[in-house]
Structure 1
Amino acid sequence: MTVINRRVFVLGGLATAGSIAVPSLARAAVPYPFTLGIASGEPDSSSVVLWTRLAPSPLNADGQGGMPDADVTVDWQVSADDRFTALIASGSVTARYADAHAVHVVAGGLAPDAEYYYRFRAQGHISATGRTRTAPQTGAFGRDLRMAFASCAHYESGYFTAYRRMAEDRPDLILHLGDYIYEDAATTGSVREHAGAEIVSLADYRRRYAQYKSDPDLQAAHAVAPWLVVPDDHEVENNYANLVRADSSPALTDAQWTARRTAAYRAYYENMPLRPAQAPSGNSIPLYRRVRWGLLATFHMLDTRQFRDDQACGDGWKVCPAADTATRTLTGAAQEAWLLDGLAQRNATWDILGQQVFFARQFDATGAASMDAWDGYRASRSRIQQGWRDRNVRNPLVLTGDVHAAWANNLLADYAEPNSAVIGTELVCTSIASGGDGSATTTIPNAATNPHLKFYSARRGYTLTTISPGQVRADFRSVAAVSEHGAAVSTLKSFAVLDGVPGLEAL
């Protein structure tokens, strides 16, 4: 046996790689290929997706990460312990040059509601070790679920300290609600700079993912728990809507925009721990889906970009009567019907909508609102809210990203009536880094116009929830700065949402 010594990466007591005994290998002839880390995702009660991508030189301009023009065999293992003394599953998979040497392994035959460890081996090297877990079986609640959710990690705006602090909280599951990367060009004077110009080609997108995934704090968050992911706009381009391009720079023809969107979704799939069912087809990707967490929760993961009507009156804050047009949709008709059908099933205590843009009404004193959010698609929001009321959904909970601030909102049957019935709850995570350090203010913007908005913070961070049969506890976690690396984390505010009682209870 040959012992390969890898650096030890300690994450909240979990050493993700140490001195690992492997079958005899000659000294590795190629550089370490696991520079982008490892990840898991999409857990069900008997399987989980394992991901890695080989890239010894991740920032090479061709997007291939320094790998040769050849397919490579990658071995994988799943164990009940982090020393891999009790293997549960193992096998080999081909990392293909055509897929930028990314692999998606569906590791099956696992026990429900169980914790596992996994790793990869390729080209004489062993990856770091990741921790993952499965969901409870269909008819069981399982343990309380410690779930974190996050969005908006602009590399140039600051360090990803919030990812590191999230990993140290050791969640069981992480939801990422979009803007995992940003598409814009390098900006001189940023905290740290993007590699290259605005991304438009497949090679560009692959290289940008590689730059983000090289970040050790992001790698720590992937290594600690399985992820459920949905993109927003910046994985393609800012504020795009369906097939309508928004602000490409340089300007693109229709054909060039279609090629860009095709490249963006292909690179997204290559770099996320998604199941084969989510593989893209041309310039679209099937992303809305349901993930069951036993009797405790059903996650309805939404796509609010690919099927939406174009923003009314432009994509900024507007006073725009067109936003009230009855036929406007943010989800598209098919996804809306799919969502309402899933809500009608009432398979779990909590029906959780994982989605991207601000859901509750937020008008200023003039009636202006964001046309990129649900305020620009008011009939669409009304149909969904009325839909869950008609179906007697017990605990609808909307989780949101996008706006670079933390919010906690009551959802009302009629936002024009401040005393209207509370019919649901929205929790909005702030950004990981987008917007820079932010500020310490917790004064709710436009509070007089929107009394249903109950909390606001302009700091960076994430939201940590504990989901149990009786309540969802939400802790809004914040770091004081991202312009320097390593800030401590604190909890700014905590709320509970009680089973059968829509709305927020301050803790």
Structure 2
Amino acid sequence: MGLTRRGLLGRAAGAGVATLGLHAAGLSAGAAWAVPRFAADPFQLGVASGDPRPDGVVLWTRLAPDPLAVDGRGGMPAVTVDVEWQVAEDEAFGGVVRSGVAPAVPELGHSVHVEVAGLTPGRDYFYRFRVAPGDAVSPVGRTRTAPTAASELRLAFASCQCWYEGFYTAYRHLATEDLDLVVHLGDYIYEYGVGATGGVRGLSLDASYQRETRTLAEYRNRHALYRLDPDLQAAHQAFPWVLTWDDHEVENNWAGDVAQIDSDGFPDDDVTAFRARKAGAFQAYYEHLPLRLPQKPDGADSRLYRRLRFADLLQLHVLDTRSYRDDQVCGDGTQFGCEAERSDPSRTMLGAAQEGWLLDGTRRAGTAWNVLANQTLIAQADHDTDPATHTVGLDMWDGYTAARDRLLTGLHDRGVTNCVVLTGDIHRSVVADLKLDFDDESSPVVATEFAGTSVSSGGDGTPMDTFGFNWMTPGVNPHFKWHNSQRGYTVIGLTPTELRADYRVVPYVTTPGSSVETAASFVVEPGHPGAHQL
């Protein structure tokens, strides 16, 4: 403990992770840096792959020999750098099948996003980067293309990785799983200051890390701080990731162009000012993650919702429940009442275009499973132990009940009986039946929701806490099947006849080295919505 910034960088440099990248056209028209030379390893932020298709994936890295430089430039000069990349069938690169050069440009923080095509479906590949004519070479990463035929698929989902509240032990264990991909449901970073000692990390950082992120440079450095963690790097190195954001990638509980009103004097009630902040946050998010060109933001606008298919087994619908939602009603928070406001039929969580896209896509999927990658809890979650009254969280779908009704009724009316929702945000695990009417126990079950806990946010957890006790009190939320408030991730196994969820938890995160165990397992059968505990 008691690490310095230099110590953190030194540890990350030896962690060993893979990298790669591609660049969007139209930037830095000048010639590339002819003979790049770096004061330190430019690949300290690791490598990643994502959004797998049958013929390829997107590969990512960012050149940053000084990842935490105050100006947010990662220690790089304002020039383009050509980055060589290779994809091979073996880890020794004896059989290179694709290669090329991608420009890393200063306008995108010297990140690279290479969209590789022409690969074979459903197989592992290895990749690496090199900056020529220098000798900077990245470690080797592994990725996997989407299958066109499959009898089984395994993925893990995770969310909420507050760096200063816990170590990423869950990712260290996740990296050893046998998976086809990882789905991240949001809160990849947190915008708050990290504290004088970096919380449990015991790390001294300069003053720019002690305040809330506002600028592109600050968002870049917050991402870089998180990406230096060796366990997070290892999890990115091992599998392709599919990512979407929640609120803390920008600011707590933001909604469309409406910011949370802060007490620090920043004009978050000014739409123009908040859109400028969003533009910096969105750009830094893109610069640090393996996203394809259609997800590259245009200022404060970005289409993050998208769809990925994995043979006839899975249609994965990746949602964005932040960018198009209406503002939270009744001042936000957890409140009793507010019935008329939260049930207003004009209010939306997804926006009309995304809502229609989702319902049409589930109906047309033609796969054994429709899985929604969703941010906040859809199920009604009554916090009041008196079943006659409802006290609910207004940032969740409980604050948008007409939108929830449209979603669940739309699935039911379209005959979609194979829908499973993966949810993050709530720093605890919940298994719930999604019903047409949550106040009627005889109402049809439309889908199953597996809400997963945080990786580290909230610090050490326990199997049960007061919050969970209230939720699980008999008669309060009868559609809830199980609850746990430990940290971890969830593994989903899919076959044509079964979807299985294994909740993997770590007993503690405020110190490193925890073991991992399976707290509970559930199965769902296609055509029969509702989870059953094993």
SS at match of 2:355: helix
Q: 2:256 aligns to what? A: 242
SS at match of 2:508: coil
**Does 1:341 pair with 2:360?**
yes
**Does 1:204 pair with 2:218?**
yes
User: CA offsets, 1:453-482, max 9 Å, x none?
Assistant: 111111110101111111111000000111
Supply the AA of the counterpart residue of 1:344.
R
- Structure 1 position 9, deviation (Å): 5.8
- Structure 1 position 431, deviation (Å): 0.2
Q: 1:262 aligns to what? A: 279
Equivalent residue runs for 1:51-70 within 5 Å: 51-70=60-79
Greater CA drift, 126-135 or 199-208: 126-135
Q: 2:31 aligns to what? A: none
Q: 1:20 aligns to what? A: none
Unpaired segments of 5 or more residues in structure 1?
A: 1-5, 18-25
Q: 2:470 aligns to what? A: 445
Structure 2 Cα separation of the partners of residues 491 and 434 of structure 1: 19
User: CA offsets, 1:150-205, max 9 Å, x none?
Assistant: 00000110111111111111321000000000000132362126733211000000
TM superposition score normalised by structure 2:
0.88
**Does 1:126 pair with 2:134?**
no
Supply the AA of the counterpart residue of 2:213.
I
Supply the AA of the counterpart residue of 1:210.
A
Computed over aligned residues only, the root mean square deviation of the Cα atoms, in angstroms, reads 1.9
Q: 1:23 aligns to what? A: none
Given that residues 57 and 145 in structure 2 are in contact (C-alpha distance below 8 angstroms), is that contact kept between their aligned partners in structure 1?
yes
Q: 1:466 aligns to what? A: 493
Out of 83, 100, 103, which is 1:94 matched to?
103
Given that residues 233 and 240 in structure 1 are in contact (C-alpha distance below 8 angstroms), is that contact kept between their aligned partners in structure 2?
yes
Supply the AA of the counterpart residue of 1:406.
S
- Structure 1 position 127, deviation (Å): 0.8
Out of 69, 75, 90, which is 1:81 matched to?
90
- Structure 1 position 256, deviation (Å): 2.3
Equivalent residue runs for 1:11-26 within 5 Å: none
SS at match of 1:74: strand
- Structure 1 position 260, deviation (Å): 0.5
Given that residues 233 and 305 in structure 1 are in contact (C-alpha distance below 8 angstroms), is that contact kept between their aligned partners in structure 2?
yes
Structure 2 Cα separation of the partners of residues 265 and 495 of structure 1: 36
How many pairs align?
A: 487
Structure 1 Cα separation of the partners of residues 47 and 287 of structure 2: 13
SS at match of 1:464: strand
**Does 1:158 pair with 2:166?**
yes
Out of 409, 415, 428, which is 2:432 matched to?
409
Out of 400, 413, 416, which is 1:393 matched to?
416
Q: Identify if the C-alpha distance between structure 1 residues 499 and 110 changes in structure 2 by more than 3 Å, giving closer, same or farther.
A: same
Supply the AA of the counterpart residue of 1:501.
H
Structure 1 Cα separation of the partners of residues 259 and 36 of structure 2: 50
Given that residues 13 and 41 in structure 2 are in contact (C-alpha distance below 8 angstroms), is that contact kept between their aligned partners in structure 1?
no
**Does 1:380 pair with 2:394?**
no
Structure 2 Cα separation of the partners of residues 445 and 52 of structure 1: 44
Q: Identify if the C-alpha distance between structure 1 residues 44 and 82 changes in structure 2 by more than 3 Å, giving closer, same or farther.
A: same
Structure 1 Cα separation of the partners of residues 443 and 258 of structure 2: 36
Q: 1:425 aligns to what? A: 448
User: CA offsets, 1:465-506, max 9 Å, x none?
Assistant: 111111111000000111101111000000011122111111
Q: 2:532 aligns to what? A: 505
User: CA offsets, 1:305-348, max 9 Å, x none?
Assistant: 01101111122111211111111111111111111111120321
Unpaired segments of 5 or more residues in structure 2?
A: 1-11, 20-34
**Does 1:183 pair with 2:200?**
no
- Structure 1 position 445, deviation (Å): 3.3
Given that residues 444 and 453 in structure 1 are in contact (C-alpha distance below 8 angstroms), is that contact kept between their aligned partners in structure 2?
no
**Does 1:170 pair with 2:178?**
yes
**Does 1:296 pair with 2:339?**
no
Structure 2 Cα separation of the partners of residues 130 and 373 of structure 1: 36
SS at match of 1:88: strand
Supply the AA of the counterpart residue of 1:282.
G
Q: 1:32 aligns to what? A: 41
SS at match of 2:294: helix
User: CA offsets, 1:404-461, max 9 Å, x none?
Assistant: 0011111112111022222210001100000000223275532221111111111110
Supply the AA of the counterpart residue of 2:362.
L
Given that residues 8 and 16 in structure 1 are in contact (C-alpha distance below 8 angstroms), is that contact kept between their aligned partners in structure 2?
no
User: CA offsets, 1:53-81, max 9 Å, x none?
Assistant: 01111111111111112111111111111
Given that residues 157 and 434 in structure 1 are in contact (C-alpha distance below 8 angstroms), is that contact kept between their aligned partners in structure 2?
yes
